[in-house]
Amino acid sequence: MSTGTTFPEPSTDDVLPSMPRRRLPGWARTTLVVAVMLVAMLVVNALASTLTNPVAALLLGPALAAAVLLLHRWVGRRLEHREMMELAPDGAPRHLLLGAAIGAALGAASVGLLILLGAYRITGWGSVGAALAVLGVMCAVAVSEEVAFRGVVLRLLERRWGAPVALGGSALLFGLVHLLNPGATLLGALAIAVEAGLLLGAAYLATGALWMPIGVHLGWNTMISGVLGATTSGSEAREALVTATTSGPGWLSGGGFGPEASLVSVLLCAAAAAGFLILARRRGRIAGGTASREPGTTGSAL
């Protein structure tokens, strides 16, 4: 016979002791972060390289870029348990546009000097559609490579050994990775390490965020490959706004690696990198030995 009184069932929390949440060791988390973002870069770049239709490239290129940024944010928060200061929105549009202008100006100046020196000659017109297709592709390429090399590799090296070592190490690695490109040479890879690795790393250190280096990378690649029709990092030249040929010694023209292996480009980009490094030093961001950025700072002003 029921008495009308009910008794609560014991909860599992009362019976079983709470199990502590286990985290991966620091070295394992770091390895996993690097592996995930490098694989993402390779996959995104491979997908982007297949885009030739302007409409598809302008739609899918930025979509791939956004996917990489979302993945980077998710990995940083879930695996590293940190705030994603390098993706802080403060000043992002301004830095992207300014960076793109700087990159495009450096590319145009490099090729302009090669024209004056007789190492580059425009032979005809391509199409606006082809240039727009390159722009879409380079959105994905610039974001994926900047996230991997500046947002992950340089940042992690900086946290462990300080900004000078991080800048040099990430730049050298960035150059060596380009040895995988068709037509790559050791001199071309070293040129990339100086003109791109140092320049983009310096832009990241000066601003504390990824937006400026992404913009510089995008502006340079689009100008060199999409507008001026030159070979980029040893990859076969894509259809562009103009058609062109190069001639002369490899140290001047860049040879099969393209203008990026030219001494002219190396010197111009090294000068720009020096400017960013001066700015970074004034902001106290490149003191050796420890991470130079204080937590919570993004350096959005430029």
Confidence band for 234, pLDDT divided at 50, 70 and 90 = low
Q: Could you read off the pLDDT of 146-165 as tens digits, one per residue?
A: 999 999 999 999 998 999 99
In contact, 266 and 191? CB cutoff 8 Å? yes
Region of 289 on the Ramachandran plot (φ > 0 left; ψ -120 to 50 alpha; else beta):
left
Q: What is the pTM of this model?
A: 0.87
Supply 241's token pair.
């706004």
Q: What is the mean pLDDT of residues 70-84?
A: 94
pLDDT tens, residue by residue, 253-263: 888 888 988 99
236, burial (CB in 10 Å: exposed 0-12, middle 13-18, buried 19+): exposed
pLDDT at residue number 297: 42
What is the pLDDT confidence band of residue 222, given thresholds at 50, 70 and 90?
very high
- Domain borders along the chain are 25-282
Cβ burial of 99 (10 Å; 0-12, 13-18, 19+) is buried
